[in-house]
Amino acid sequence: KQEVTQIPAALSVPEGENLVLNCSFTDSAIYNLQWFRQDPGKGLTSLLLIQSSQREQTSGRLNASLDKSSGRSTLYIAASQPGDSATYLCAVLPGNTGKLIFGQGTTLQVKP
Amino acid sequence: EAGVAQSPRYKIIEKRQSVAFWCNPISGHATLYWYQQILGQGPKLLIQFQNNGVVDDSQLPKDRFSAERLKGVDSTLKIQPAKLEDSAVYLCASSLGRESSYNEQFFGPGTRLTVL
């Protein structure tokens, strides 16, 4: 059974810091991995999607990497800003069937 | 491009009452998902539609939850009767398809349900 874990559960950093959020999954047989952002009381916004054949994806100040063999993904945020404060969720697609399995999320606070 | 629409945004009901949620996916998206997100947890898939057919409802509590997607576009999720533990955010998502190459899922704003 696929399980997804995100550590830490919460993180507080001063503005301007570079930071890394971690995601691990128990079964390396995945088709893709997505990182989402969730603001309080809002839905999920897709940030980056990495197909199983890819190693990383970049969008602006965000970079996500994928190491299937070790069951790990990281989301790197450069030069963090208070507007980056949100909960970040990773999710894996374990089969070619559409069902995403989510981690519990990391709640990030960036202090001015 | 319009995103996934959901209504209502908030709902408060008493236990044993019934409630219904509505979702309109992104135009052209064949696959529609309903997720339940309990406070402090990641979303959990309840049911997945491909066009108007159900392809996965293994985690849907079928004694009280039902969902339909008539004409392969809009969808409704119903709870009858509601229990306290159904308090959660109900998220609707859609994607072009189920296969991984088409499976970037886009989420609506969610409906926050409180059962008293």
A 10 A CB-CB count for B23 gives: 25
Residue range B52-68: mean pLDDT, rounded: 93
Asked if A60 is an interface residue toward chain B (Cβ–Cβ < 8 A), one would say no
- The model's confidence at residue B40, banded by pLDDT at 50, 70 and 90, is confident
Asked if B110 is an interface residue toward chain A (Cβ–Cβ < 8 A), one would say yes
- The model's confidence at residue B109, banded by pLDDT at 50, 70 and 90, is very high
| In the predicted structure, residue B60 carries a pLDDT above the cut 70 | yes
Q: Do B105 and A31 touch (CB under 8 A)?
A: no
Check: CB of residue B90 under 8 Å from CB of residue A43.
no
| In the predicted structure, residue B64 carries a pLDDT above the cut 90 | yes
Q: Do B105 and A97 touch (CB under 8 A)?
A: no
Mean pLDDT, chain B, as a whole number? 92
**SS3 of B35, please?**
strand
- The rounded distance, in Å, linking the Cα atoms of B78 and B61 is 11
Nearest to B97, CA basis, from A52, A97, A50: A97
User: What does the pLDDT read at residue B102?
Assistant: 65
C-alpha dihedral over B57, B63, B69, B75, to 10 degrees?
Answer: -100
Inter-chain CB pairs, A–B, below 8 Å: 69
Question: Least CB-CB distance to B42: which of A46, A96, A104?
Answer: A104
Question: Least CB-CB distance to A103: which of B6, B42, B109?
Answer: B42
Nearest to B64, CA basis, from B48, B84, B92, B94: B84
Residue range B26-30: mean pLDDT, rounded: 92
Of the listed ranges A44-58, B58-72, B99-113, the one predicted with least confidence: B99-113
Lookup result for tokens 């959901």: B6
Torsion angles phi and psi, residue B81, rounded to 5: -90, 155
Q: Taking the CA atoms of B99, B100, B101 and B105 in sequence, report the sign of the dihedral they define.
A: positive
B99 CB neighbours in chain A (<8 A) are: 96
pLDDT tens sequence across B69-78: 988 899 999 9
A 10 A CB-CB count for B44 gives: 16
pLDDT < 50: residue spans in chain A: none
pLDDT tens sequence across B15-24: 999 999 999 9
User: What does the pLDDT read at residue B68?
Assistant: 95
Q: Do A100 and B45 touch (CB under 8 A)?
A: yes
Q: Strand B19-24 and strand B5-7: pairing?
A: antiparallel
- The rounded distance, in Å, linking the Cα atoms of B110 and A83 is 21
Residue range B33-38: mean pLDDT, rounded: 96
**Percent of chain B topping pLDDT 70:** 95
